Amino acid sequence: MDMRLKHWKPTGLALAAIVTTAAVAFAVPSAMAQRDPAYAAARADGQIGEQPDGYLGFASSPTPAIRALVQDLNIKRKAAYTERAQATGSTVEQFAFTSGCNLIAQTKPGEKYQAPDGSWKTRDGSPPVRDSRCP
Amino acid sequence: MKMTNEQARRQAIGAKCLAIVTGAAALAGCVQIETPDKPIEINLNINIKQEIVYRLDGDAKKLIEQNSEIF
């Protein structure tokens, strides 16, 4: 009996340590959910930008790596739009378009966005050119 | 009760007046429509209406905020 207790104590401590580490590991990424550095760089560079339809597009011809990155993000965006569209009783296109209005409005100076006429523009201090249906 | 000639004449004048007034009113009620000089444009992109965009705006903002890694 005595031997057993001696063995259990260190095990319990180790378990507690693992649980604590796991909790910290989970808490940190969710608190700082940030853009992939490659994505952030391509955005800041103006290689990619926001389209009125709620997806990312290429303002200049992309490298294969950037193309893959954008495709991956757009798939994830579509999944998110689809889920929210179902929850709000709208279509994926309607929800994506509304998000696009916001995403273009949120672009920082220097970043690219696509105007309703299809041309790529660089965001400056003035409000972006958006679709007339945008709030 | 027998109608005198005078009464009959007055009634006839009254009826004529009514007819003239009614006719004038009908003419005044005519609406003139001018044909537009530009062709009528029909926007085919009707499945995204402004009111829907306004309704979804709050949800869209929330989604972007909560999924900042993909936006």
pLDDT of residue A24: 47
Chain-chain contact of B48 with A90 (C-beta, under 8 angstroms): no
Cβ–Cβ contact A133 with B under 8 A: yes
Same domain, A88 and A98: yes
Rounded average pLDDT over A54-63:
95
The pLDDT assigned to B4 comes to 66
Report how far residue A104's alpha carbon sits from residue A54's, in angstroms, rounded to the nearest whole number. Answer: 9
Name the domain count of chain A. 2
Shared-domain flag, residues A47 and A17: no
Q: Which residue of B has its CA nearest to A105?
A: B61
pLDDT at B1 over 90: no
A17 plus A2 within the same structural domain: yes
Distance from CA of B49 to the nearest CA of A (A): 7
Local structure of residue A125 (DSSP, 8 states): S
- Could you tell me if A15 and A56 lie in one domain? no
Residues A84, A94 share a domain: yes
pLDDT at residue A30, as a whole number: 46
**Residues B59, A116: Cα–Cα separation, whole Å:** 23
pLDDT at B35 over 80: no
pLDDT at A46: 93
**In this structure, are A107 and A70 located in the same domain?**
yes
CB contact under 8 A, A99 and B63: yes
| ipTM > 0.90, yes or no | no
Nearest by CB to residue B64, choosing from A87, A94, A102, is A102
Answer yes or no: do A16 and A64 share one domain.
no
Give the position of tokens 């009959």. Answer: B8
Instruction: Name the band, by pLDDT with cuts 50, 70 and 90, for residue B5.
Output: confident
CA–CA separation, B10 and B22 (whole Å): 18
A47 and A1 in a common domain:
no
Contact B59 A94 (CB under 8 A): no
- pLDDT over 90, % of chain A: 73
How far apart are the CA of A118 and the nearest CA of chain B, in angstroms? 15
Both A48 and A103 in one domain: the answer is: yes
Mutation target to probe the B interface, by most B beta carbons within 10 A, among A28, A50, A86, A102 is A102
Boundaries of domain holding A7: 1-33
Q: How far apart are CA A114 and CA A101, in angstroms?
A: 11
Residue A69 clears pLDDT 80, i.e. is over it? yes
Lowest average pLDDT, out of A66-75, A76-85, A86-95, B11-20, goes to: B11-20
Say if residue A42 is in the same domain as residue A96.
yes
Classify A112 as helix, strand or coil.
strand
Residues A20 and A75 in one domain: no
Average pLDDT, rounded, for chain A: 85
A87 and A107, same domain (yes or no): yes
